[in-house]
């Protein structure tokens, strides 16, 4: 597995490189600017995952995010994992706006939970959508009434929130202390109530999470 890392802070960049390589993820390029990121992706178009900070030079606002969005417009299936210092809901929505999978939005604190972080990197590379639990919580707390999710039962909404974190049916079942079969039924109900009945299961999970974001 091969990764590109974009982080302007030298210490954080080096830490990410060491962490990834210690788990058999080769860092083929490590850059400190948006131009470097774009050039690296151009040099390795079949990279397995791109990991980038949101705030990059020169203004340290949204350069990294915008680069990720632009790169995915050219290649919608490019696996991109964005790291942020804070929960910024609008950025999560914008990153997900294409409706494709292979995308993640995590807080930097998550990196310290090494096994979880490496699992998230691998899941994004494999096509999953992964949102930091704190991002999901912020989206839930800011929810407005009258959105499409009002069709869901409280349990179905819980299942969708866990889907937004990138969890599989088995992991959702473990978190909710129910059977995997019960989770499968809830997931099917979520798809039906959000009018996602005519897509492949993987794509429907992504679209369901996108609806989750768009209703915020």
What would the pLDDT profile of 111-164 be if each residue is shown by its tens digit?
A: 888 998 999 999 999 988 888 877 776 666 665 555 667 788 989 988 988 887
**Range of lowest pLDDT (59-63, 78-82, 167-171, 197-201):** 197-201
With a CB cutoff of 8 Å and minimum separation 6, the contacts of 208 are: 160, 163, 190, 191, 194, 196
What's the pLDDT score for residue 4?
98
**Which H/E stretch holds residue 177?**
none
What's the pLDDT score for residue 11?
93
The answer, yes or no, to whether residue 184 has pLDDT greater than 70, is yes
b/e sequence 32-46, b meaning 16+ C-beta within 10 Å: bbbebbbebbeeeee
DSSP 138-169: HHHHTPPTTSGGGGS-HHHHHHHHHHHTT--H
* Partners of 81 in beta bridges: 51, 104
d(CA 149, CA 143): 10
Tokens 């909404």 correspond to 157
Sheet holding 26-31, edge to edge: 26-31, 2-6, 49-53, 80-84, 103-107, 129-131
With a CB cutoff of 8 Å and minimum separation 6, the contacts of 107 are: 83, 84, 85, 86, 87, 132, 134, 135
Instruction: Quote the mean pLDDT of the chain.
Output: 84
In the chain, the domains with their CATH numbers are 2-134 (3.40.50.2300), 143-214 (1.10.10.10)
With a CB cutoff of 8 Å and minimum separation 6, the contacts of 158 are: 176
Residue 37 — very low, low, confident or very high, per pLDDT cuts 50/70/90? very high
Phi, psi of 178 (to 5 degrees): -135, 175
d(CA 122, CA 19): 13
Q: Report pTM.
A: 0.76
């Amino acid at each position: 597995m091969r990764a590109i890392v974009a982080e302007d802070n030298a210490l954080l960049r080096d830490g990410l490189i060491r962490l990834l390589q210690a788990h058999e993820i080769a860092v083929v390029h490590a850059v400190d600017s948006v131009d470097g990121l774009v050039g690296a992706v151009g040099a390795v178009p079949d990279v397995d995952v791109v990991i980038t900070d949101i705030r990059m030079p020169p203004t340290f606002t949204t350069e990294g995010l915008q680069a990720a969005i632009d790169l995915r417009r050219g290649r919608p299936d490019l696996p991109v994992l964005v790291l942020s210092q804070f929960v910024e809901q609008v950025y999560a929505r914008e990153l997900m706006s294409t409706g494709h999978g292979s995308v993640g939005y995590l807080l930097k604190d998550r990196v310290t939970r090494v096994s979880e972080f490496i699992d998230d990197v691998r899941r994004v590379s494999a096509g999953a959508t992964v949102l930091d639990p704190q991002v999901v919580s912020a989206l839930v707390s800011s929810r407005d009434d009258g959105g499409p999710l009002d069709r869901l039962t409280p349990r179905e909404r819980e299942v969708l929130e866990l889907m937004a974190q990138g969890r599989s049916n088995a992991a959702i079942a473990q978190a909710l202390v129910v059977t995997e079969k019960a989770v499968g039924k809830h997931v099917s109900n979520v798809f039906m109530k959000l009018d996602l009945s005519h897509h492949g299961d993987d794509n429907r999970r992504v679209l369901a999470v996108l609806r989750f974001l768009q209703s915020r």
